[in-house]
Amino acid sequence: MKASTAAQYRTPGPLDTAAGSFPGTRRRTRISRHSAQFAYLLNAPSILVIVLLVGYPICYSVWVSLHRYDLRRPRIFRFVWLQNYIDVLIDPDFWTALRITVLFTLIAVVVIVSVGLAVALLLNRQFPGRGFVRTVILIPWAIPPVVNGLMWQWIYDPKIGALNALLRWLGIIDHYQGWLAVPTYALGGLIVAHTWNEFALAVILFLGALQRVPAELYDAGRVDGCRSWQLFLHITLPWLAQALLIVLILETMLAVRAFDIIYVLTAGGPGTSTTTLTWATYLTTFENLDFGHGSAYAYIVTLITLGLSVIYFRILYGRGEFEA
């Protein structure tokens, strides 16, 4: 406080002209010490929540992941260095689960982004009934994944399911199929159910970004003789870049973490055909009660999602889109 007061009454030197061109710079440095304390006071409850409920559990699970800790042999709690990680990484089941996770996430995200973008472009145009469709779009978003799973389980039912009835009526199949009993169909069915539940969020985000495209851009493009696909390619798509990244981040995280829908619909089966990393973590921890290996699994999933988000953030940051 004293130092800055002294600085204010100092005789003007050559450097001060530069400082003078940024009015308020000096005042800000004077109040910064107060505002720092104040800022941390405002953040205290949130920091407390994050440290206690995220920070502590992460540290705990790292600790457990370095130990042999199996609830079926509860008296053994032995430090084993990275043995759990090695066990997981040399286990072919891990690589199968990783492959299924990548497949599930990749297809789900591609489908959600393309369907979401197509629907958003449609709803950005004027036509009778648009308001109704915009309202209807919110339904999948509001449905909890557990209920979504119940709904699709009922649709895929091998004996009386609506999908069988529909495909038979259309003449595509001769006899009813147990959709969730065939590995490829089960993964496909899971992806259909998941994307139905999550595509609405993509539509909302894309639509919001589309509505902000300045009309002048299109006018200028038309004056220059652009065709409509050129307008889309050179104006609409670049404008959507940020919304696209946000959708990619959100939907990737949702797909990697998908749990409820798997629990209700396929329980990881048949065989291991829908066992993603998240499901494998759940099985190891809560079915086998092997907390050591379960924590190693959980931590590998965490590292993968953190890695992906760092990549996404770098892209946002590099583009100057991430503003703090």
Partner 1 sequence: MTAARTQSRFHTILLMGGGLLVTIYVLAPFSWLVLTSFMRENDVLSVPPKIGWDSFTISNYLTFIHASGIEAVVGSRAAENTLPGIFNSLVAATATAALNVVLGTLAGYSFARLRFPGRMPLLLLYLGSRMVPGIALIVPLYLTIRTFHLLDNLAALAITYLTLTLPFTIWLMKNYFQGIARSLEEAALVDGCTWAQILWKILIPVAAPGLAATAIFAFMTAWNDYLFAVILTTTMAAKTAPVVVAGFVTDVTTARTLMATGGVLAVLPPLLLALMCQRMIVQGLTSGGVKG
Do residues 217 and 187 touch, judged by C-beta distance below 8 A? no
d(CA 61, CA 66): 9
Residues 102-141 contacting partner 1, CB under 8 A:
119, 122-123, 125-130, 132-141
144 binds partner 1 (CB under 8 A): yes
95 binds partner 1 (CB under 8 A): no
76 binds partner 1 (CB under 8 A): no
What's the angle, vertex CA 160, arms to CA 155 and CA 166, rounded to 5?
Answer: 60
d(CA 298, CA 286): 12
**50 vs 106, beta carbon nearer partner 1:** 50
Part in contact with partner 1 (CB under 8 A); list of ranges 51-59, 82-90, 95-103, 106-114: 51-59
158 binds partner 1 (CB under 8 A): no
Q: State the binding string over 7-36 for partner 1 (x if CB under 8 A, else -).
A: ---------------------x---x--xx
DSSP 51-65: IIIIIHHHHHHHHHH
150 binds partner 1 (CB under 8 A): yes
64 binds partner 1 (CB under 8 A): yes
- Report in angstroms how near the CB of residue 274 gets to partner 1 at its nearest: 15
Burial label for 258, CB within 10 Å (0-12, 13-18, 19+), is buried
Out of 16, 25, 38, 93, the residue judged to bind partner 1 by CB under 8 A: 38
Tokens of 295: 């924590």
152 binds partner 1 (CB under 8 A): yes
Out of 66, 84, 145, 191, the residue judged to bind partner 1 by CB under 8 A: 145
**9 vs 139, beta carbon nearer partner 1:** 139
Residues 264-303 contacting partner 1, CB under 8 A:
264, 278, 281-282, 285-286, 291, 294-295, 298-299, 301-302
d(CA 290, CA 87): 12
Residues in the interface with partner 1 (CB under 8 A) total 97
Part in contact with partner 1 (CB under 8 A); list of ranges 82-90, 94-102, 106-114, 259-267: 259-267
Out of 84, 101, 105, 153, the residue judged to bind partner 1 by CB under 8 A: 153
263 binds partner 1 (CB under 8 A): yes
- Report in angstroms how near the CB of residue 14 gets to partner 1 at its nearest: 27
DSSP 89-117: HH-HHHHHHHHHHHHHHHHHHHHHHHHHH
Out of 80, 98, 102, 151, the residue judged to bind partner 1 by CB under 8 A: 151
196 binds partner 1 (CB under 8 A): yes
Bridge-partner residues for 14, per DSSP? none
155 binds partner 1 (CB under 8 A): yes
Q: What is the number of alpha carbons within 13 Å of residue 211 lying toward its C-beta?
A: 10
324 binds partner 1 (CB under 8 A): yes
Residues 200-239 contacting partner 1, CB under 8 A:
200, 204-205, 207-209, 211-213, 239
- Report in angstroms how near the CB of residue 119 gets to partner 1 at its nearest: 6
Q: Name the phi and psi angles at 191, rounded to 5.
A: -65, -45
d(CA 33, CA 19): 20
**Which residue type occupies 101?**
T
Helices (runs of H) and strands (runs of E) counted in the chain: 18, 2
What's the angle, vertex CA 270, arms to CA 107 and CA 156, rounded to 5?
Answer: 70
Q: Which residue, 277, 244, 245, is CA-closest to 258?
A: 277
